[in-house]
Chain A
Amino acid sequence: MKHVYTWGAIFAIVFASVVGDVLLAHAMKQVGDVHALVRRSGVWTAVRRILRNQNFVLGVAAMAVAFFSLLFALSWGDVSLVAPAAASLTFIGNAFAARIFLHERVDRRRWIAAALVAAGVALLAG
């Protein structure tokens, strides 16, 4: 039964973090290059612009869901299973989501990178 809980929590983590990552990445692209923004209009203008972005707020909410799912998962399963499994699946999920929703050009180089990292992270669990 503990297994089911652990994997359920892992999938909750993966889903919530993919949603969160995509929303946050989209928000930060809307805000624009932070270095240039800070240089031009100061730190507080940049912070205010980020905090007022709707996608940013939603992204943070999704990340909070992922974070609490992680806390639950960690209390049920080993960190050596939960962390790599969740991270590995999140990598693959993010590659698909970034291509579909963010229109990033995920070329062969990036697919290979995502697959290598996901496989490597999964192996670290062993």
Chain B
Amino acid sequence: MTFRKYLVLAGVTVFGAAGDSMLSHGMKQAGNVSLRHLSNLFVALLNPWVAVGILLLLAFFASYMNALSWADLTYVLPATSLGYVLLALVAKFALHEQVSPLRWLGIALISGGVGFVAGGEALTSHGHHESPLLAKDARNGAPRSVPTGVER
């Protein structure tokens, strides 16, 4: 794991948490969306909170794809779940909401889960350990011979 990779995981965490909270705030302002009034959905997209939330979620998606290119799904998901902890801390210290003991327990469990997975290796799906150059070349060498860039 390089510093850059930790930055990518941090990006997944922060962009995801910020995007989700802005989106939900905006959707609460925009009101109900139902199957009968689908047009409300397009009105909702004009809400600035929803728009910025979507932009942040795009940034989240880019970092997420980046992380998935060099780490397992079952590594990236727990490793970036600190976003929920982040949301609770924002609720407590920025929005001054009450955070119940049960929620603190939830935060502790998530942090424990993150600690658990962070101690392990990031990539297992190709049967080799996360050891650098050989693995990279093996994975990137192959597609070069496929001119379309689409494998299989």
Q: Which residues of A are at the interface with B, using a C-beta cutoff of 8 A? A: 21-22, 24-25, 28-37, 40, 48-50, 52-54, 71-72, 74-76, 79, 83-84, 87, 91, 94-95, 98-99, 102-107, 109-110, 112-117, 119-124, 126
Total chain B interface residues with beta-carbon distance under 8 A: 56
**What does DSSP make chain B's interface, helix, strand, loop or mixed?**
helix
Distance from B34 Cβ to chain A, minimum over Cβ atoms (Å): 7
Distance from A14 Cβ to chain B, minimum over Cβ atoms (Å): 13
With contacts A75-B31, A98-B74 known, what are 9 further pairs, Cβ within 8 A? A32-B136, A32-B139, A49-B149, A71-B33, A72-B35, A75-B34, A79-B24, A79-B28, A126-B100
Q: A37-B140, A75-B33, A103-B125 are in contact. Are A94 and B113 (CB under 8 A)?
A: no
- On whether the beta carbons of B68 and A25 are closer than 8 Å, the reply is yes
- On whether the beta carbons of A29 and B69 are closer than 8 Å, the reply is yes
Residues of B close to A120: CB separation below 8 A: 81, 84, 105-113
**Docked complex Cα distance between A37 and B91 (Å):** 39
**Docked complex Cα distance between A123 and B112 (Å):** 14
- On whether the beta carbons of A54 and B65 are closer than 8 Å, the reply is no
Residues of B close to A79: CB separation below 8 A: 24, 28
